[in-house]
């Protein structure tokens, strides 16, 4: 009888231990899950996609160097991806197809405002990381085309980029201040490579190309054709800037593409945009890696990537991670 009582007590004690252990385990499990979830929300991503532009433009080669620097500095595998550039890049960011992208400042402003190619579809999940360099509007033709002014484009076959692209909007606005519209030219929607090939083959007369100079596609054209860049006169530059303040006067220097004289034109700015859901600390590290290692980049446009101009032309909200870095460095918008 005594043995039975001892056995019963032992069984009861064992059951109580198991119950207590189960309760304790359950509590720890819940706490662990919450902790992991909390950490996961702020964890740096393992991979990042950076949308650039066509392989013959400036975005793609510069983006490749930048992606490598980000990968080495942050440990996050960052891939530079060829794309159709500004407008498409913003749309891809909006849809969550990438985290970073090269964009023209004017296109990004249009996207946030929901105008031009973003009419009725404003973008509210993309923020600025920083400005990079001037993107020159180059009206490219050949010396023997007979085209020496914007007005001479009337009636000619002219590449203006894809509808809604940054280049297309630039072309539309420049034509506008010269009293022309897309209906006054034979507009062709070609890539940079297709544009320069078309000029070389005589299929088109001129092309609008918005990119950092020197642009690979135009340099390639210069190997077979005497390149000419159509100037924009000062009064039209002033009119354009008054109407669209994100433009700035620019000069393509003699020697570029074999030019014999400086050519006056205008430029917008290239910038990096980032989706708002990339963690603050990750964007901080990306921003730091770009502006502190720009000197290691071989591309000619890297010399323009400085903290002094990092907030120039930014007309949208800056990502908190980038803003944190700029605040530490004492960088403010002009």
pLDDT number for residue 274: 98
User: Of 39-43, 123-127, 213-217, which gets the smallest average pLDDT?
Assistant: 39-43
Structure-block tokens of residue 115: 């105008």
Evaluate if residue 9 carries a pLDDT over 50: no
Q: Compare 249 and 32 and report the one with higher pLDDT.
A: 249
Q: Kindly state whether residues 302 and 283 are assigned to the same domain.
A: yes
Q: Tell the burial category of 315 from Cβ atoms under 10 Å away from its Cβ (0-12, 13-18, 19+).
A: middle
Question: Domain containing 227: what range?
Answer: 135-267
Domain for residue 51, yes or no?
A: yes
- Clarify whether residues 110 and 53 are in a common domain: yes
Please enumerate in sequence order all residues whose Cβ is within 8 A of that of 72, keeping only pairs 6 or more positions apart, or say none.
Answer: 289
- The DSSP letter of residue 224 is T
What is the pLDDT averaged over residues 199-203? 96
What's the whole-number mean pLDDT along residues 44-70? 93
Q: Are residues 142 and 263 in the same domain?
A: yes
Q: How does residue 212 score in pLDDT terms, banded at 50, 70 and 90?
A: confident
Residue 124 lies in a domain: yes
Q: Is the pLDDT of residue 307 over 50?
A: yes
Does one domain contain both 148 and 238? Answer: yes
pLDDT band at 182 (very low <50, low <70, confident <90, very high): very high
Residues 228 and 203 in one domain: yes
Residue that terminates a domain, selected from 217, 233, 267: 267
Which of the four pLDDT bands, split at 50, 70 and 90, describes residue 42?
A: low
When the pLDDT of each residue in the chain is averaged and rounded to a whole number, the result is 87
Evaluate if residue 34 carries a pLDDT over 70.
no
Residues 155 and 245 in one domain: yes
Mean pLDDT, range 117-134, rounded to an integer: 94
Please tell me the distance from the alpha carbon of residue 25 to that of residue 23, in angstroms, as a whole number.
5
In a domain, 29, yes or no: no
Residue 258 to residue 260: CA distance in whole angstroms? 6
- pLDDT exceeds 50 at position 117: yes
Q: What is the predicted pLDDT for the residue at 322?
A: 98
CATH number for the domain including 96? 3.40.190.10
293 and 256 belong to one structural domain: no
pLDDT of 121: 93
Q: Is pLDDT above 90 for 19? A: no
Query: What tokens appear for 5 in the block?
Result: 């009582």
pLDDT band at 13 (very low <50, low <70, confident <90, very high): very low
What's the pLDDT band for 84 if we cut at 50, 70, 90?
Answer: confident
Mean pLDDT (whole number) for 207-229: 93
Q: Do residues 109 and 147 both lie within one domain?
A: no
Among 230, 247, 267, which residue terminates a domain?
A: 267
Q: What integer pLDDT is reported at residue 85 of this predicted model?
A: 82
Rounded Cα–Cα distance for residues 128 and 108 (Å): 9
% of the chain at pLDDT higher than 90: 71
pTM for the structure as a whole: 0.74
- CA nearest 229: which of 143, 307, 299? 143
Contact present, 274 and 125 (Cβ < 8 Å): no
Residue 273: the pLDDT is: 98
Q: Are residues 294 and 196 in the same domain?
A: no
Quote the CA–CA distance of 334 and 257 in Å, as a whole number.
33
Residue 2 lies in a domain: no
What is d(CA 300, CA 291) in angstroms, rounded to the nearest whole number? 15
Tens-digit pLDDT profile for residues 87-105 = 899 999 999 999 999 999 9
125 and 247 assigned to the same domain: no
Query: DSSP secondary-structure letter at 318?
Result: B
pLDDT for position 163: 76
The Cα-based distances of 65 to 23, 181, 187 in angstroms read 54, 38, 34
Please check whether residues 276 and 294 belong to one and the same domain: yes
Same domain, 225 and 76: no
């Amino acid at each position: 009888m005594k043995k039975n009582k001892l056995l019963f007590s032992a069984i009861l004690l064992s059951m109580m231990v198991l119950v207590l252990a189960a309760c304790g385990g359950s509590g720890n499990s819940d706490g662990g899950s919450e902790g992991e979830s909390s950490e996961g929300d702020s964890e740096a991503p393992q991979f990042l996609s950076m949308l650039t532009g066509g392989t013959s433009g400036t975005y793609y080669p510069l983006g490749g160097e930048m992606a490598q620097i980000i990968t080495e500095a942050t440990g996050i595998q960052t891939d530079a991806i060829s794309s159709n550039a500004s407008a498409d890049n913003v749309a891809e960011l909006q849809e969550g197809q990438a985290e970073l992208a090269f964009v023209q400042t004017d296109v990004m402003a249009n996207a946030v405002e929901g105008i031009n190619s973003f009419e009725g579809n404003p973008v509210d999940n993309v923020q600025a990381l920083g400005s990079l360099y001037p993107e020159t509007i180059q009206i490219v033709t050949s010396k023997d085309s007979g085209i020496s002014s914007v007005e001479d484009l009337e009636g000619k076959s002219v590449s203006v980029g894809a509808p809604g692209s940054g280049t297309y909007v630039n072309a539309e606005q420049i034509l506008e201040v010269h009293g022309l519209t897309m209906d006054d030219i034979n507009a062709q929607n070609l890539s940079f490579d297709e544009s320069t090939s078309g000029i070389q083959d005589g299929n088109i007369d001129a092309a609008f190309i918005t990119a950092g100079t020197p642009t690979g596609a135009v340099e390639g054209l210069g190997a077979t054709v005497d390149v000419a860049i159509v100037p924009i006169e000062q009064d039209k530059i002033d009119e354009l800037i008054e109407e669209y303040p994100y433009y700035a006067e620019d000069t393509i220097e003699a020697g570029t593409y074999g030019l014999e004289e400086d050519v006056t034109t205008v430029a917008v700015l290239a910038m990096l945009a980032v989706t708002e859901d990339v963690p603050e600390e990750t964007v901080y590290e990306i921003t730091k890696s770009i502006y502190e290692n720009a000197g290691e980049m071989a591309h000619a446009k890297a010399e323009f990537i400085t903290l002094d101009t990092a907030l120039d032309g930014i007309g949208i909200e800056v990502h908190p991670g980038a803003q944190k870095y700029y605040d530490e460095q004492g960088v403010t918008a002009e």
